[in-house]
Amino acid sequence: QSVLTQPPSASGTPGQRVTISCSASGSTIGNNFVYWYQHLPGTVPKLLIYRSHQRPSGVPDRFSGSKSGTSASLAISGLRSEDEGVYYCATWDDTLSVVFGGGTKLTVL
């Protein structure tokens, strides 16, 4: 089964830019789009990035996604206290199943 690896934690101060990585075992990310979700305490997950780098309507351009080879990244610029939460990457694998990364807990210092 495919595995997506994320760092367990990340942090930054208000206004900073932080990057969260997502690397794949195998060719999942290389062959498929990557999606990013924000899961804030007490809320349901929210789609931030789809098709690796596109933002749904309403998502601020402070959030950006990129993909290269078997890795992807989510960048958050102008960090705010309300960005504190857990961020997940996801992609499809070759069996038409969705795979989530382990999640990265973002702390705004």
Partner 1 sequence: QVQLVQSGAEVKKPGASVKVSCKASGYNFTNYAIHWVRQAPGQRLEWMGWINGDKPITRYSQSFQGRVTITKDTSATIVHMELISLTSEDTAVYYCAREGYLSGLLFDSWGQGTLVTVSS
Which is nearer to partner 1, 16 or 74 (by Cβ)? 74
Burial class (CB in 10 A: 0-12, 13-18, 19+), 98: exposed
Question: Least CB distance from residue 14 to partner 1, whole Å?
Answer: 27
Burial class (CB in 10 A: 0-12, 13-18, 19+), 47: middle
Which is nearer to partner 1, 63 or 88 (by Cβ)? 88
Best CA proximity match to 86, nearest among 8, 2, 14: 8
The site for partner 1 (CB under 8 A) is made up of 1, 33, 35, 37, 39, 44-47, 50-51, 54, 56, 88, 90, 95-103
Question: Least CB distance from residue 109 to partner 1, whole Å?
Answer: 23
